[in-house]
């Protein structure tokens, strides 16, 4: 969701089956800043480079490919765009006890990954903030400083793709520069009862949601519907209602056979606000409708149908 921002700078990718590692899926969210070029580039290219890694348990080799993506972007693009990245490499294995899913999460920046298990939240990422002691130490040893919880008083995160002017000193190795693209990794073995939630910081800013409350919120809705797109659309609406002023991207991943998940129409429009003061919103709304193959009129009709369907009689009671 673009939200109240003038532009959409987030990007994401969903790859259910990688080309080389055909038992592996890749899921990523990229929260861009100072433009959308870096986030788009990473969403399109990072999976391809990671797919080149022979052994996906080798986090050092994955990191080398990430550094290559970062350098290639900065060699090809001369702006100062940047992006955070949180991505999940999900490997499916057949075992004697059934299908096993191994999840490896890489994090660069302040987007987040959290595992939902039996109503509890298990964090699979830690925010890379300049004021973190280890991050501040690296920044200062590279000749920078932290003020207002920002690198050199400007950048609110300490790891990212791009951000050319912060990849200094240029003679330092990438993991020693003021801002680095080197990720942290966390690994979990999961079951079909778990779910993975990954999202940009627009979901969490100002404690709109915490890791714990977002898992509780999703759990409650999974008891009522298996439509993951609808749950995520409602989540983004809720973030706007609670005051998020950022772009918002969120992804809900379940670990189960999805062949019976037949929901080809995943475009779920929200309410449309009329009036001159909402012109930017109206333009963005129309753009998203057109991307999904809908006219504005068709989108408004679809929204009315969705709102009507929310009011259903279940066991003699009305639910909304």
pLDDT digits (tens, 9 = 90+) for 242-251: 988 888 999 9
Q: Which DSSP symbol is given to 137? A: H
- CB count in 10 Å sphere of residue 169: 11
Same domain, 111 and 233: yes
Spatial CA neighbour of 6 closest among 308, 298, 280, 306:
280
Residues 195 and 284 reside in one and the same domain: no
**Residue 83 is part of which domain span?**
10-127+180-266
Rounded Cα distance, 67 and 56, in Å: 16
How many independent structural domains does the chain possess? 2
DSSP 30: E
Judge whether 145 lies within some domain.
no
Burial class (CB in 10 A: 0-12, 13-18, 19+), 223: exposed
How far, in whole angstroms, is CA 83 from its chain's centroid? 11
Domain with 34 in it: what CATH number? 3.60.40.10
List, in order, residues 6 or more apart from 306 with CB less than 8 Å away.
Answer: 268, 269
Is the same domain home to 211 and 319? no
Residue 234 lies in a domain: yes
Asked whether residue 170 is assigned to any structural domain, the reply reads: no
Show the tokens assigned to 306: 């969705």
Q: Are residues 294 and 251 in the same domain?
A: no
pLDDT at 98: 80
Residue 282 counted as domain residue: yes
Instruction: Read off φ and ψ for residue 82, nearest 5 degrees.
Output: -145, 170
Please report the pLDDT score of residue 15 as a whole number: 95
Report the SS3 class of residue 28: strand
Low-confidence ranges of the chain (pLDDT < 70): 262-265, 310-320
The pLDDT assigned to 264 comes to: 63
Question: Which domain-ending residue is among 266, 287, 303?
Answer: 266
285 and 258 in a common domain: no
- The answer to whether residue 202 is domain-embedded is yes
Q: Which residues contact 144 (CB under 8 A, 6 or more apart)?
A: 151, 152, 166, 168, 178
The stretches of the chain forming alpha helices (DSSP H) are 37-50, 59-76, 133-141, 211-222, 228-241, 279-291, 296-310
Tokens of 252: 């809900």
Please give the pLDDT value at position 165. Answer: 95
233, 285: one domain: no
Query: Do 187 and 291 have their domain in common?
Result: no
**pLDDT score of 94:** 85
Q: Looking at the domain assignment, is residue 236 inside a domain? A: yes
Record the pTM.
0.84
Please list the residues that pair with 287 across neighbouring strands. Answer: none
């Amino acid at each position: 969701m673009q939200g109240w921002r003038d532009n959409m700078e987030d990007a994401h990718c969903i790859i259910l089956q990688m080309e080389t590692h055909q038992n592996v899926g890749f899921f990523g969210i990229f929260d861009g800043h100072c433009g959308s070029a870096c986030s788009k580039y990473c969403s399109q290219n990072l999976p391809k480079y990671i797919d080149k890694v022979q052994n996906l348990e080798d986090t050092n080799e994955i990191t080398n490919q990430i550094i290559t993506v970062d350098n290639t972007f900065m060699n090809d693009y001369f702006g100062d765009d940047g992006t955070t990245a949180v991505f999940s490499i999900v490997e499916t294995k057949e075992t004697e006890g059934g299908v096993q899913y191994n999840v490896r999460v890489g994090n660069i920046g302040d987007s987040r990954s959290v595992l939902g298990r039996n109503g509890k939240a298990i964090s699979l990422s830690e925010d890379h903030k300049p004021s973190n002691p280890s991050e501040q130490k690296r920044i200062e040893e590279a000749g920078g400083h932290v003020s207002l919880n920002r690198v050199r008083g400007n950048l609110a995160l300490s790891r990212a793709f791009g951000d050319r002017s912060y990849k200094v000193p240029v003679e330092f190795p990438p993991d020693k520069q003021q801002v680095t693209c080197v990720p942290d990794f966390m690994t979990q073995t999961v079951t079909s009862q778990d779910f993975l939630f990954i999202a940009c910081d627009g979901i969490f800013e100002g404690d709109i949601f915490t890791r714990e409350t977002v898992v509780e919120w999703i759990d409650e809705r999974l008891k009522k519907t298996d439509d993951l797109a609808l749950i995520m659309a409602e989540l983004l609406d809720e973030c706007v209602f609670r005051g998020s002023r950022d772009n918002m991207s969120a992804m809900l991943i379940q670990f189960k056979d999805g062949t019976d998940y037949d929901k080809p129409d995943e475009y779920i429009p929200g309410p449309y606000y009329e009036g001159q003061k909402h012109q930017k919103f109206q333009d963005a709304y129309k753009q998203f409708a057109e991307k999904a193959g809908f006219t504005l009129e068709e989108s408004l009709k679809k929204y009315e149908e969705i709102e009507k369907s929310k009011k259903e009689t279940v066991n003699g009671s009305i639910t909304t």
